[in-house]
Amino acid sequence: MKELAFDAVVIGGGAAGMAAARELDAAGLSCAVVEREESLGGILLQCVHNGFGLIEFNEELSGPEFAERVEESLSGTKLAVFTGTTVMELDAHTETKSLFCYSARFGVLRLNARAVVLAMGCRERNRGNIRIPGDRPAGVYTAGLAQRLVNVEGYIPGKDTVIIGSGDIGLIMARRMSWVGCKVHAVVEILPYPSGLTRNVVQCLHDFNIPLYLSHLTTRIIGKERVEGVEITPIENGALVHEKAFTIACDTVLLSVGLVPENELSKSAGVEINPMTGGAQVDSMLMTTVPGLFACGNVLHVHDLVDYVVEEARRAGRNAALWLKGARPGSEVRVKAGPNVRYVAPGRVRIDADNKLYFRPLVVKNDALLEVRLDNRVIMSVKKNHIQPSEMQSIVLGPKELLAAQGMPDSVLEISLR
Amino acid sequence: MKTELTCITCPLGCSLSIEREADGSLTVSGNRCPRGIRYANEELLSPKRMVTATVRVLSGSGAGHDRLASELMHERLPVRTSAACPKELVPELLQELYKLTVNLPVRRGDALLSNWRGLGIDVLASRTLG
């Protein structure tokens, strides 16, 4: 078995992994990136639609373009990149962590490093996760799998499609399926509002006259060998109205019902998971509960913009470098999600420096008010024109706001919306 | 005749109500800012869309088992328009793109179609392949 040593190893070569690795290299440390696919870029490579990079590059790019731009920023670095290589085991019990990896090219590899950045991204929830009753025919795909089949591999999964869930990938796929000559008969959403962005509802559904059934549940998938239809039941006052159920004939069902951070490796390494995000519990340096293990991007919490992923990953990379050189966070305050906030990441802020916090609203509202409380005292309030769960929000808090917590060991910072 | 639209210029998503006047001009209501008026005019008078698609790729000389697994993964090349395309011409543009076959290697930004239909729209490779 080949054994190699680095200061740091980044697991995952998508937008997050590349951005984190670049910072580690820039800090003069030796760093490796391990990516299971044959090329760097991650999920961006199958997102051939437009709209990436407005914050990062000040232009609208497709996913592959964004990935290539980030990859180009790695030229001139001394990074060791292992593509086509899968991390099978992460042993973080000792100060030097070991990653046991497999690849067709390198065989079994053991990479040793004092710091590891987790950047494995997320995966889709599937039919089993949401338990749609009915038959079990062929033709049921997650939207992201269908996206890969159509955009990368060149297969069209079916002709007559119903999309379950109105997440952004589902909406984007409604347009893609229409553009490759399929008929999308409906998008079915259990909630009373769409899960995706308004601009995607308009450009991906309205443009093609695709009906969006809000407050409707898919109660049955029908079909012997192949999908033949889905049974849809409206929800009124929180209850299914079975008398009003109807069936839509189709041969394909795409599921866009949420994403889950891919944390199997992290859990096996002993990382504590935040049940609200499905990602690691991290401190103000984006370090997990296992010293020397950092997390960023969609494996930490599911982002809606890759620009935010890159920003967060840079911080994780920089912090991992600082940590390797002996820096520690110092005095921290615990962060709590208050009313109408689903979660806040990271879970701790430091008093002596600026902290960027990302948080996700639980409600749809115009003219909302963001309130930040330190030990129940309002220290900041910001007007928000519009909030909705599909749009992540951010705020920066620094020493000026947090100084009052100095010397208070049990201080709590609460982010709320009303 | 009244038309209803959702403005997508910003996340607020104003519900616009648009009335076409006798002189052909549009009266917009429901907008919370002037951008709603501009959006309604563009959308009703000359709607345009950025088009992204994939085109077929002919991998270089290596056929069959000489080809690497990585090459086999990329049967399609992602492309996009350099500017927004008139909405009514999008299906035609797509049909043209689906008939294309691109020889590798190709660099990001290479034009596969130039000044399509004299509209000043190019179709660009949005990934470097091969």
**How does strand A212-213 pair with strand A183-188?**
parallel
Q: At residue B126, what is the residue type? A: S
- Are the C-beta atoms of B80 and B116 separated by less than 8 Å? no
| Tens of pLDDT, residue by residue, chain A (418 residues) | 899 999 999 999 999 999 999 999 999 999 999 999 999 999 999 999 999 998 999 999 999 999 999 999 999 999 999 999 999 999 999 999 999 999 998 899 999 999 999 999 999 999 999 999 999 999 999 999 999 999 999 999 999 999 999 999 999 999 999 999 999 999 999 999 999 988 899 999 999 999 999 999 999 999 999 999 999 999 999 999 999 999 999 999 999 999 999 999 999 999 999 999 999 999 999 999 999 999 999 999 999 999 999 999 999 999 999 999 999 988 899 999 999 999 999 999 999 899 999 999 999 998 999 999 999 999 999 999 889 998 899 999 999 999 887 777 789 999 999 9
Among A305, A329, A353, residue at a domain's last position: A329
Last residue of a domain, one of A329, A351, A368: A329
| One domain for residues A323 and A336 | no
d(CA B130, CA B127): 10
Domain boundary among A257, A289, A307: A257
The alpha-carbon gap from A392 to the nearest alpha carbon of chain B, in Å, equals 12
- In total, the C-beta contacts within 8 angstroms joining chain A to chain B are 81
User: Which of A68, A202, A366 comes nearest B12 by C-beta?
Assistant: A366
Contact B59, B71 (CB under 8 A): yes
Out of B75, B108, B128, name the one closest to residue A153 (CB).
Answer: B75
The CATH number for A393's domain is 2.60.40
Testing the interface with A: which of B6, B8, B123 to mutate, by most A Cβ within 10 A?
B8
DSSP A138: B
Rounded Cα gap, residues A51 and A30, in angstroms:
34
Inspect the interface and report whether the beta carbons of B8 and A39 lie closer than 8 Å. no
Cβ atoms of A285 and A300 closer than 8 Å = no
Q: Which helix (H) or strand (E) holds A15?
A: helix A15-26
Domain extent for A2? 1-124+258-329
Nearest by CB: B94 against A68, A179, A201: A179
A137 lies in the same domain as A216? yes
Q: Verify that A67 and A150 share a domain, yes or no.
A: no
Residues of B with Cβ-Cβ distance to A386 under 8 angstroms: 10-13
Contacts of residue A147 in chain B, CB cutoff 8 Å? none
Say what the ipTM of the complex is. Answer: 0.89
Task: Say if residue A322 is in the same domain as residue A357.
Answer: no
Contacts with A45 from chain B: Cβ below 8 Å: 127
A286 with A168, same domain: the answer is no
Overall number of domains in chain A: 3
Q: What is the CA radius of gyration of chain A?
A: 22
Chain A residue at shortest CA distance from B130? A39
Tokens of B28: 């917009």
Q: Find, in chain A, the residue whose alpha carbon is nearest to that of B128.
A: A68
**Cβ contact A154–B76 (<8 Å):** yes
Asked whether residue A269 falls in the same domain as residue A391, the answer is no
A68–B56: do the CB atoms touch at under 8 Å?
no
Distance CA B18, CA B37 (A): 9
Burial of A58 (0-12, 13-18, 19+ CB in 10 A): exposed
Q: Could you tell me the CATH number of the domain that includes residue A33?
A: 3.50.50.60
Helix (H, G, I), strand (E, B) or coil at B114: strand
For residue B37, the surrounding DSSP H or E stretch is helix B34-45
Closest by CA to A162, choosing from A179, A177, A180, is A177
